[in-house]
Amino acid sequence: MATPLVQPLKREVQIGETTYHVTMHPDRVAIRQKGRRASVEVAWTELLAFEQRMQAPVAPSAPPEGKAKAVSRGILNEVAQQLRAATEFLSKADDTLTQAGALPAALMAQAAADPRHGQVEQENHWFVEPLLTLTEVASILRVTPRTVQRLGLRTIRIGGEDRYQQSVIREYLRQQEVPAARYGR
């Protein structure tokens, strides 16, 4: 399933020694050299028309007098092949990004919202969640730091100190939930 392009998608491309910024808009694609302001923009319809012209048979014609010789058919075919390959690559990149969940939250929200909170369900690798100290976890749970240590929660060791992921604390709390007592049998 392809994701619709609703907002501009920006990527950086290295061609030889030169870096370019490529921005795909819903109606066009813009390419500019890194560090420059001027960009080349081509509408999607123009790209498709160019590919169709490349597939159509071309009648040989003599170059106009006083003008440079026309670009050879072989070069035009090679450019068309590269455009097709780029289109296929962009499609695969889109599929990969969609599967990885690495799309902006606004696009992910259109695809599937979390029914519990009305927000996009975040993948574990989507971002680095803030890490909590022992004292912060104790304060959140309203227990002593020693009690937090006895809970056996998974930690991440950074700079000689244990840190707690917020998701680990949330999961622990979910596991501790007890159904409310029923009154009036």
Q: Which of 12-21, 105-114, 174-183 has the highest mean pLDDT?
A: 12-21
Specify the pLDDT at position 109.
53
Q: Does the reported pTM lie above 0.75?
A: no
DSSP 83-115: HHHHHHHHHHHHHHHHHHT-S-HHHHHHH---T
Per residue in 89-131, pLDDT (tens digit) is 777 776 766 666 555 555 555 555 445 444 445 555 556 778 8
Per residue in 30-85, pLDDT (tens digit) is 888 888 888 888 888 887 777 777 676 655 555 555 555 556 777 777 777 788 87
Q: Say which residue, 87 or 108, is predicted with more confidence.
A: 87
Other residues' Cβ atoms within 10 Å of the Cβ of residue 32: 15
**CA 163 to CA 160: how far, in whole Å?**
10
**CA 49 to CA 40: how far, in whole Å?**
17
Specify the pLDDT at position 142.
92
Q: Say which residue, 98 or 149, is predicted with more confidence.
A: 149
Q: What is the CA radius of gyration of the chain?
A: 28
| Whether the Cβ atoms of residue 3 and residue 94 lie closer than 8 Å to each other | yes
Specify the pLDDT at position 147.
94
